[in-house]
Amino acid sequence: MILMLTGYPMDKMQEVEAFFRTGHLQYIPHLSVDCVIFGFHEGELKVLLLKWKHLERWSLPGGPIRRDQSVDETAHVVLKDRTGLDDIFLQQFYAFGSMDRKESVLLELFDRLNVSNHEANWLSERTVSIGYYALVDFSKVNPVPDFFSEACSWWDVCDRPSLLFDHDAMVERALQTLQQQLYYQPIGLNLLPDKFTMPELQQLYEAVLGRKLDRRNFQKKIQKMGIVERLKERRTGGAHRSPYLYRFDVPRYEQALAEGLAYGF
Amino acid sequence: MILMLTGYPMDKMQEVEAFFRTGHLQYIPHLSVDCVIFGFHEGELKVLLLKWKHLERWSLPGGPIRRDQSVDETAHVVLKDRTGLDDIFLQQFYAFGSMDRKESVLLELFDRLNVSNHEANWLSERTVSIGYYALVDFSKVNPVPDFFSEACSWWDVCDRPSLLFDHDAMVERALQTLQQQLYYQPIGLNLLPDKFTMPELQQLYEAVLGRKLDRRNFQKKIQKMGIVERLKERRTGGAHRSPYLYRFDVPRYEQALAEGLAYGF
DNA sequence: GCAAAAGTGTTTTCTGTACACCCATGC
DNA sequence: GCATGGGTGTACAGAAAACACTTTTGC
């Protein structure tokens, strides 16, 4: 096998060759993890995407599952490798296993990489992918591309390029799951900086739900949840009246996550 | 390989041998589907379980995923094979992929079956399993064991034997998912016979939620959903006053499933 | 007739939503 | 001082929960 193509660092070629040849010994073939990593910046919900070398197209970050690693661990490693972040809210939302997700673009790429179909067989057949979504603090992320990608960057969820594989459907489903969970679970911890204002939290909710909320009712609702505490400080420097800063009450927040907030029936 | 053990039909031995030897060519190794099949009978929520030959223990029905079949299709085939039922509400709820689910009891079984570890290797390593739950009409099910099991029968969800692998956790999580979905999706279609009484539907809700509901409020709530129509008939024969029969308004029911019923926020 | 289940309606409480006024800040 | 965003409280409507009496049926 000869791997020779601009954009791929020579000193890693041996490693990559081994990956194609013997990766199936270390990884479970036909199974992978993909992560929808959500961030929040300037009032917009963002998602972290990778730009593939040579394909000029984008996908979600992901990777194969090691035989000696749990699926959850794999997702955490993907998150860590792409963002530098550890110990983050990460939740499985769906396993994608339809037949039409054969990764035919990969075949093209392997072709250009001079990887024979046989050698890359364990990578090119239909792959079942387990989707996770993460909520991270935009300002703490250091985006790092993986070997196959030349760029790793944030995109507006609502204004992103069309993605490879079925990753568009994954983003949609992750967002839908997030919206549903909003009704009985808090969000914000991990997504916002440690200290934040109530209007910022409201913007986050509005970005996720895709609609405006009433300022006063929102405030009452959050207060009733009992998951935030108001600080004496205010955020100064902006125009207009200075809003109070808040901080999540982490124990109560965790409790609300675990027990849920409210139900019908 | 010699397979020779009471309980295993001789005429199928060749097929089974092929399964152990070359199954990994047809199936994705280390990946499977398991189904939590719920039924409802005499006021109790039931789950369909398989009793393994020689192990004297029970598990959920499941199976490996064919390389030419989607994960959803696989789940439908499992359901069809164990119950005879087709075209049933079946929903993926979680993928189980922790490392502690190596199926060590399988090794014991393979040992007794004289299958060498090497031959059965693709079956005995840690397997990631995608969980589905189904809601079926108890009276229409014809339980059929699979090759590895000697019995297939219903158990009370709340009074079942301890299960193999991590299947106890699967049942718990399926039930939890079902409970959550109850707040924004109707259930009953497929679980109840075509015609049913309001007290029966209420018993179903109570069985799933694990608590009593108020008769009058329940009736109002269901009526407001607009998913049932009351028939002129009543159920006669029982003691006491004859209750009306109801039938699901399938188009409205499907619509409620698709759109959801109500949300907070 | 009596025990047990089924049918029905009203009241109260709570939750969600709509809405208006005052206050702080930068320009 | 004025435009803009932030802080706060009240009033109304709809949903959920609490609750009691009458009817039917088999025995």
CB contact under 8 A, B98 and A184: no
Inform me whether the C-beta atom of residue A75 falls under 8 Å from chain B C-beta atoms: no
- Residues B249 and B230: beta-carbon distance below 8 Å: no
Query: What residue type is A62 in one-letter code?
Result: G
Which pair of structure tokens corresponds to residue A119? 């050698």
CB contact under 8 A, A97 and B209: no
CATH 1.10.10.10 residue ranges of chain B are: 196-259
Domain B10-181 has CATH 3.90.79.10: yes
CB contact under 8 A, B97 and A262: no
- Residues B191 and B39: beta-carbon distance below 8 Å: yes
Residues 6+ apart with CB under 8 A from B95: A71, A92, A95, A130, B128, B129, B130, B131
Helix (H) or strand (E) holding B256: helix B250-259
Can you give the length of chain A in residues? Answer: 265
Residues 6+ apart with CB under 8 A from B227: B186, B248, B249, B252, B253, B256
- Residues B84 and B139: beta-carbon distance below 8 Å: no
Which pair of structure tokens corresponds to residue B203? 């018993």
Confidence of residue A55 (pLDDT cuts 50, 70, 90): confident
Give the SS3 label for residue A32. Answer: strand
**CATH architecture of structural domain B196-259:** Orthogonal Bundle (1.10)
State which residue has its Cα closest to the C1' atom of D8. Answer: A216
Give the SS3 label for residue B42. Answer: coil
> Is residue A145 scored above 50 in pLDDT?
yes
Q: Is the CB of B241 under 7 A from strand D?
A: yes
DSSP output for A99-117:
GGG--HHHHHHHHHTT--T
Q: Distance (Å) from CA B174 to C1' D17?
A: 29
Residue B252: per-residue pLDDT: 95
How far apart CA A56 and CA B31 sit, in angstroms, is: 32
Q: Which of B67, B97, B263 sits opposite A183 (nearest CB)?
A: B263
How far apart CA B242 and CA B245 sit, in angstroms, is: 9
- Residues A4 and A114: beta-carbon distance below 8 Å: yes
CA distance, residue B210 to nearest chain A CA (Å) = 12
Q: Distance (Å) from CA A198 to C1' D6?
A: 10
Task: Indicate if the alpha-carbon torsion angle B67, A111, A64, A28 is positive or negative.
Answer: positive
> Is residue A142 scored above 80 in pLDDT?
yes
Choose the weakest-confidence range: A193-202, A223-232, A254-263, B124-133: A254-263
Q: State the CB neighbour count (10 A cutoff) for residue B255.
A: 14
Inform me whether the C-beta atom of residue A257 falls under 8 Å from chain B C-beta atoms: no
CB contact under 8 A, A31 and B128: yes
Strands (E), chain A: 27-41, 44-52, 58-59, 62-66, 90-96, 128-135, 149-156, 195-197, 228-234, 244-248
Residues 6+ apart with CB under 8 A from B79: B35, B37, B61, B85, B88, B90, B132, B134, B136
Q: What is the pLDDT of residues A82-125, one digit of tens each?
A: 999 998 999 999 999 999 876 667 777 777 777 766 666 777 78
How far apart CA A256 and CA A184 sit, in angstroms, is: 8
CATH 3.90.79.10 residue ranges of chain B are: 10-181
Which pair of structure tokens corresponds to residue A28? 């479970």
Running DSSP on this structure, what letter comes out for residue B10? Answer: G
pTM: 0.93
Inform me whether the C-beta atom of residue A95 falls under 8 Å from chain B C-beta atoms: yes
Which position has the token pair 């609502």? A158
Q: State the CB neighbour count (10 A cutoff) for residue A9.
A: 9
Residue A6: per-residue pLDDT: 64
- Residues B31 and A30: beta-carbon distance below 8 Å: yes
Which pair of structure tokens corresponds to residue B42? 């005499």
Q: What is the pLDDT of residues B186-218, one digit of tens each?
A: 999 999 999 999 999 999 999 999 999 999 999
How far apart CA B92 and CA A130 sit, in angstroms, is: 12
Residues 6+ apart with CB under 8 A from B176: none
Which pair of structure tokens corresponds to residue A105? 């673009």
**Angle at which helices A198-209 and A167-181 pack, to 10 degrees?**
130
Inform me whether the C-beta atom of residue A67 falls under 8 Å from chain B C-beta atoms: yes
- Beta-bridged to residue B132, according to DSSP, are B35, B92
Helix (H) or strand (E) holding A219: helix A215-225
* Chain A residues close to B262, C-beta within 8 Å: 264
Inform me whether the C-beta atom of residue A65 falls under 8 Å from chain B C-beta atoms: yes
Which position has the token pair 């069309």? A162
Residue B16: per-residue pLDDT: 73
Which pair of structure tokens corresponds to residue B18? 């092929």
CB contact under 8 A, A95 and B130: yes
* Chain B residues close to A264, C-beta within 8 Å: 183-184, 261-262
Q: Which of B92, B183, B213 sits opposite A94 (nearest CB)?
A: B92
CA distances from B99 to A4, A20, A68, A73 (A): 37, 24, 7, 10
| Of A181, A26, A21, nearest in space to B180 by CA | A181
How far apart CA B244 and CA B234 sit, in angstroms, is: 4
CB contact under 8 A, B31 and A128: yes
Inform me whether the C-beta atom of residue A184 falls under 8 Å from chain B C-beta atoms: yes
pLDDT by residue for chain B (265 residues), tens digit each?
Answer: 445 566 777 777 777 777 777 878 899 989 999 999 999 999 999 999 999 988 889 999 999 999 999 999 999 999 999 999 998 999 999 999 998 876 667 777 777 777 766 666 777 788 999 999 999 999 999 999 998 899 999 999 999 999 999 999 999 999 999 998 888 899 999 999 999 999 999 999 999 999 999 999 999 999 999 999 999 999 998 889 999 999 999 999 999 999 887 654 5
A241 CA: nearest nucleotide by C1': C24
Confidence of residue A261 (pLDDT cuts 50, 70, 90): confident
Alpha helices (H) in B84-186, listed in sequence order: 104-112, 121-124, 167-181
Residue A2: per-residue pLDDT: 47
B245 CA: nearest nucleotide by C1': C6
- Residues A123 and A106: beta-carbon distance below 8 Å: yes
How far apart CA B35 and CA B37 sit, in angstroms, is: 6
Q: Which of A71, A183, A265 sits opposite B265 (nearest CB)?
A: A183
How far apart CA B69 and CA A148 sit, in angstroms, is: 28
Residue A116: per-residue pLDDT: 67
Task: For chain A, give the percent of residues with pLDDT over 90.
Answer: 70
Which pair of structure tokens corresponds to residue A87? 């110990």
How far apart CA A85 and CA A106 sit, in angstroms, is: 28
State which residue has its Cα closest to the C1' atom of D20. Answer: B216
Q: Distance (Å) from CA B217 to C1' D13?
A: 19
Inform me whether the C-beta atom of residue A264 falls under 8 Å from chain B C-beta atoms: yes
Inform me whether the C-beta atom of residue B68 falls under 8 Å from chain A C-beta atoms: yes
CB contact under 8 A, A97 and B128: no
**Angle at which helices B167-181 and B198-209 pack, to 10 degrees?**
130
Interface A–B counts its CB contacts (< 8 A) at 81
CB contact under 8 A, A125 and B67: yes
Task: Determine the straight-line distance between the first and last CA of chain A, rounded to whole angstroms.
Answer: 62
